[in-house]
Every structure is written in structure tokens, then in C-alpha cells.
Amino acid sequence: MGNKVLILEDSIEMGENLIDFLNIAGFDVKQVVNSKQIFQEYPKFMPDILLIDICLKGSDYDGVDTFRILKRRKDFNSKVLILSAGAPNTKIAEAMKLGALNFIEKNAQIDMDRLVADIQQGIILKNQEECNRTLKEEKNTLKKYLQKSLPFIGECDKILEAKHQIKQYAKANVGILVEGETGTGKEIVANTYYHNSPRFGKSFNKINCAALTETIVESELFGHNKGAFTGASGNNKGIFEQSNHGVLFLDEISNLSYRAQAKILRVIANKEIQVVGGTQRNVDIKLVCATNVEIEKLVNEYKFRSDLLYRINANVIKLPPLRERGRDIVLLFNYFMNELKTTFSSLKYDYNEKKLKDILHIYSWPGNIRELGNLCENMVIAEQGSVITNSIIERYVRKKVNGSKLNDMEDQLTQIIRNNNLASGGVEFEKKYIEFHLKSNSWNFTITAKKIGISRSTLHRKAKQFNLAKSEPNIAQ
């Protein structure tokens, strides 16, 4: 049989006539004669359509009150049509307010064709609502999965403020500008914005503006038509058109040329793009722009358009560097280690989180979250078979510190060489030169002496003269 119809009608004869006709029309039909019976039959039959007579003899409730009680059921999922012969208009209006689809006058000449059409329309509407409900559930499931797979981790004040701003701007459906050093999580902000946006489920695209050369930038952003330039063998839809009705993440927008900036300004102002070798096309996009530099400085240096800056900097989210996020660094470290455990099932770790915070804050993390993630991965790969402890973590962080110091020392040494005649030397140069090579060789005097061409005793004397000594307390214990 087909879709199910349950009839609440106190007249057996009327009910049988309806059943006969609706069976012929392909429906699976049952009749009940009072409210008590429908309350018992409804969960068993689970009809698609309810035909409810308003005036019921021998029933605890009339049709409207029965409808109201049924609607309170968690499993109620039917469309309702009202049947009546002489019911007060107020009752009919009440039923329609409760959500009845239509009112059908009950008499000897019921328009059966109209009744079938109303039932079919109700079934179509019910199926559409169920489909939309399923899509909504799938959308929410996908959102939860994406939020779990791309979490915005952090509990410091600045990150909590950023999370609040993102939700506000996303709900308001406005574009944003994300400012922060390299590796601070600007792409995570873009993902979080999209997940909280009414545009979630529509297109979401990302492009790194730093990777766009002047020759391809317009084609990549706005698309091109066949023959627009040498090598354009076909039509190409640009990233803006691909993102129509959705969200587009423009990472490192400060790297765009003046010409490309002007075109993006037109997109924001006029909601239209100019296809290379083609026509203008309307687009509806919300932009998430990101930069790791202070754009205002670039404006002063005539490297960024002031009018574009004024368009994109109305809603700014500033991400703090990792070194300013306090205990967040431990939360992020734990996240990376847990993620790595899914790949390296044999990974074991046993570290004290309080001491871990002190260890991780030895280093300034110029590469921020991305650099922390890389350290975790490199350490886990290199230490396979070992239990990751505070001592092991500190050893890898110390390498970072020493590497950073050596880079600073190398820069200083280069500057000294530029400013001094190497042949004539100088005390400052000699001290920096010896210190640099000692650190480069992990304070191994024998290797350092051979490398710079002096005796080991002379190197010790020079180190003492310049008060050079390795001094790094171990805080892992």
C-alpha cells in the first residue's frame, strides 16, 4: 500500500466511504471514531496524513483539542486536514492556527478529487520537511566533525575575545580581517567563521595571495575566457565565482598587487567581477582577509591601497603570538601529541604539565603554533620507542633556543664583519667570533679550536678572558 491516512470520524458510514475511495486512490487508510482510539492507534499506525472531524459524538475531546494533544507528542509527524459539517468558524480558525493544511466541508457531496489533491500536497510537504530536517541534521553533524577536526584551541583572554568576535561577525554575516604573525592560526579563524556563518554548507574556498604571481593573479581570482591570453585554451572559473553565495578566505592579502587590490575593491563595493576576456558577473561573497603584517604601514609606504584597507578593516580580529598566550601553549602541545598518537599508535608520553609550561616558555616560538606542531612531530618521529618525558621535551626546546641564539649571533657577527676590517680584528669581533663558534659546536673546545685554527689552551684562555661559559639550568627535573 501507499502513504498512510488515519481518519478521525465518528460516522462509520462516512468513514467507510472515505476509506473505499482513498484505497482506490492508492492510500493505506484506517478509521477511528473518538479521541481515545486515535491516541491508541496513532503510535502504531504512524500516519502521514490525519483527517480530523471537528465535531465528535461520544468522544472525550473534540477534533481541535485532539489535534492539540497529538501535536505535543514527540513522535508526532503528520499533516492534518480538517473535516467539518457546521462547526463554528472559531473552531475552524483555531485548527488552522494549530497548523492544519486545509478545511474540507463534510457533506453528502464531498469533493473527493480535491480531497485526494490536498492529501497528496500534504504528503509532498511532509516529505520535503523530512528531507530538510535530514539535511539540517547532516549539516550539524558535519559542522561538529569539522569543528572537532579543526578546533580553535585556547583559553587565554585574547583568544576567548577572538572566539566571541568570530561568532558575532559570522552571525551578522559580515566580512572580517584577521591580523596575526605567521603561524598564529588565521586559517583556523577562517574555518571557525565559516562553521558559525549562515553560509555554512555553501562554498568555502581558500587562496594564498602570496602564491599568486602578477601574470596569473587576475585569472585565478576572477577567471578567464577561452583565448583571453596565450595559453587560455578554455574557459576558467575564478576563485571568486567559485565562492559565489559562500565564503572566501584571502590569506596574506597584503601580498596582492595594487592592480589586483583595485579589482577586489570593486568586488566588495559593487559585488561584481570582471572576467579576463569576458563580461562582468555579479557575485555574493563574504571575505575573510588575513595578514601577518601591519597593513597601515604598507599604506604609508604606498604598497597597499588605503581605500581597500578602509573596506576590510571594519571588523578586525587580532591573534596574539604564542609567546603571549600563557598556558595555552600546554593545551596546544597536548592537542598535537594526541593527534600524533592516532598516527603513531606506539607513542607514549609521561610529562608534568606544570613543568612543561616552564619548558615551553624557554623559547619565543617565532613560528608560533605551526612551529610548535612541527617540533612535536619531529620529536615523536625521532624518539620512537621512547617515552616522551619533560627531559626529552626540554632537550628539543633547548635545540630551538640554541638555534635561535646562533642565528642571532650569526647576524651580529655578519654585521661586525661588515663594520670592521677583518684583518685588523678588534676585541668585540674576537669575542663574538669565539662565542659564535663555541655555541655552534655545543661548547666542545677541542672541535672549536680545530675549526678556528688555534690551540685548545688558547681557546680556554680566550673564553675565560671574555667570560664565556655555558650556563643553562635544567628545569625538567
Q: Which of 135-139, 146-150, 408-412 has the lowest mean pLDDT?
A: 408-412
Q: How far is CA 33 from CA 39, 53, 269, in A?
A: 11, 9, 64
Asked if residue 137 is part of any domain, the answer here is: no
314 and 335 fall within a common domain: no
| pLDDT band, residue 79 (cuts 50/70/90) | very high
Residue 30 in domain = yes
Residue 228 one-letter amino acid: A
Judgement on whether residues 294 and 332 belong to the same structural domain of the protein: no
Tens digit of each residue's pLDDT (9 = 90 or more) over 323-377 = 999 999 999 999 999 999 989 989 999 999 989 999 999 999 999 999 999 999 9
Residue 143 is assigned to a structural domain of this protein: no
pLDDT the model gives residue 421: 45
Whether 195 and 314 share a structural domain: yes
Going by pLDDT thresholds of 50, 70 and 90, the confidence category of residue 145 is: low
pLDDT for 419 = 54
Same-domain check for residues 309 and 171 = yes
Within-domain flag for 150: no
Inter-residue contact 222 to 272 (CB < 8 Å): no
Domain CATH number, residue 79: 3.40.50.2300
277 lies in which domain range?
Answer: 157-318
Using the predicted structure, report yes or no on whether residue 293 has a pLDDT greater than 70. Answer: yes
- What pLDDT was estimated at residue 404? 66
Q: Is residue 477 part of a domain?
A: no
Same domain for 236 and 267 = yes
Question: Same domain for 419 and 341?
Answer: yes
Give residue 223's region: left, alpha or beta (phi > 0; psi -120 to 50): left
pLDDT tens-digit series, residues 401-449: 877 665 565 555 555 544 554 444 567 767 877 887 887 777 888 888 8
What is the bridge-based pairing of β-strands 387-388 and 247-251?
unpaired
Instruction: Tell me which of 290, 318, 346 is where a domain ends.
Output: 318
Domain end point (choices 289, 318, 347): 318
C-alpha cell at 43: 503510535
**Same domain assignment for residues 229 and 344:** no
User: How many domains, in total, are found in the chain?
Assistant: 3
Residues 15 and 81 in one domain: yes
Based on the domain organization, do 121 and 207 belong to the same domain? Answer: no
E strand or H helix at 377? helix 368-382
Report the CATH number at residue 339. Answer: 1.10.8.60
Average pLDDT over residues 460-464: 84
Last residue of a domain, one of 291, 318, 345: 318
Pairing status of strand 247-251 against strand 280-282: unpaired
User: Do both 335 and 251 map to the same domain?
Assistant: no
Q: Tell how far CA 309 is from the center of its chain.
A: 24
Query: Does the pLDDT at position 1 exceed 80?
Result: no
8 Å CB contact between 224 and 277: yes
Which single residue is written with the C-alpha cell 473534540? Answer: 62
Residue 10 domain-assigned (yes or no): yes
Whether residue 475 is contained in a domain is answered as no
Q: 100 is written with which cell numbers? A: 492544519
106 and 190: one domain? no
The CATH number of whichever domain residue 162 belongs to comes to 3.40.50.300
Domain co-membership, 35 together with 84: yes
Output 29 or 455, whichever has higher pLDDT: 29
Q: Which amino acid, residue 275?
A: V
Query: Looking at the predicted structure, is the pLDDT value of residue 160 above 60?
Result: yes
Three-class SS state of 205: strand
- pLDDT exceeds 90 at position 176: yes
391 in a domain, yes or no?
yes
